[in-house]
Amino acid sequence: GELYRDDGAVYTFEVRTSRIDFGTNKKKYVEEVRLVADTVSTGTAQLYWSDDDYVTWNGPLDFDMSREPKAVTRLGAHYGGRAYRLSHSSNAAFRAEAIEVRYRVGR
């Protein structure tokens, strides 16, 4: 069968994006981030974000993996680029395809 634990401890999955600036250095207001992933019966995935080249991380905000849409809000604003980090630890499969960032550009 499928096994997502090692000696009783669950595996932790983590992925980090490169800095995303959406082609502008203007201020971006991040309204929502959606996780495009399989829906499972239980569990969460955590989203963190960094505005200072991976030095410090804000968050986490939790995606409920049992619901649609898998979305988090209130991610503040930033100039330049922002990197995202996604983490998941569970005794279950995790299949994700993308994150979708909804934002608006300020001045």
Query: pLDDT band at residue 6, thresholds of 50, 70 and 90?
Result: confident
Euclidean distance between CA atoms 81 and 50, whole angstroms? 9
Euclidean distance between CA atoms 100 and 25, whole angstroms? 19
Query: pLDDT band at residue 1, thresholds of 50, 70 and 90?
Result: low
Euclidean distance between CA atoms 45 and 88, whole angstroms? 5
Query: pLDDT band at residue 8, thresholds of 50, 70 and 90?
Result: confident
| pLDDT, average across residues 38-59 | 95
Strands 12-16 and 71-73: unpaired
Euclidean distance between CA atoms 85 and 73, whole angstroms? 15
- The structure tokens listed for 92 are 């279950």
The pLDDT score that the predictor gives to residue 91 is 78
Euclidean distance between CA atoms 19 and 2, whole angstroms? 34
| pLDDT, average across residues 60-71 | 96
| pLDDT, average across residues 40-55 | 94
- The structure tokens listed for 67 are 């619901």
